[in-house]
Amino acid sequence: MANDELANIKDETIKMLEEHNFTVTTDGKYPAWKPDINEFTSKVLEIYKEFNSEASLEAIHAGLECAIFKDKYSSIKVASIGPSIQFPHSKKEQVSIQSVENVFKVVKKIVEEIN
């Protein structure tokens, strides 16, 4: 969740692969992102709980767009939300239609209340 940690993992992985006679090249990078609990994320959670009482703030493998925005605009407040997905990035990937509908309602309400 930090750019220096991300760089260390990359360097360690390259070193390990080269030690096993692999040729390694890398291209491009997305920034790391440390979640920040603040008034905006608290409001997002409050609204989300209206549609899913089990909603919580968690750091998970998601939020690429948040990382990109935070990297360019460090003072921006961001929250990553999305539907419930099982088996992401696989041939078995599934999404809950109800959770997609809930996310739409949550985003709509966030926009209404924040404006």
Q: DSSP string of 54-99?
A: T------S--HHHHHHHHH-TT---------EESTTSTT-EE-HHH
Does residue 75 share a domain with residue 39?
A: yes
Are 99 and 74 in a shared domain?
A: yes
Hey, what are 5's tokens?
């940690």
Cβ contact 66:78 at 8 Å: yes
Q: Count of domains in the chain? A: 2
Shared domain for 67 and 100, answered yes or no, is yes
For residues 61 and 7, membership in a common domain is answered with no
* Number of other residues whose CB lies within 10 A of the CB of residue 79: 19
Cα separation, 115 vs 110, in Å, equals 8
Q: What are 61-83's pLDDT values in tens digits?
A: 677 788 888 889 989 998 889 89
Do 2 and 19 lie in one domain? The reply is yes
Q: How far apart are CA 39 and CA 57, in angstroms?
A: 13
Share of the chain above pLDDT 70, in %: 99
* pLDDT tens digit sequence for 9-24: 999 999 999 999 999 9
Q: Are residues 43 and 60 in the same domain?
A: yes
Q: Do 37 and 27 fall within a single domain? A: no
Residue 22: give the domain boundaries: 1-31
pLDDT at residue 68 in the model: 87
Q: 53 and 97: one domain?
A: yes
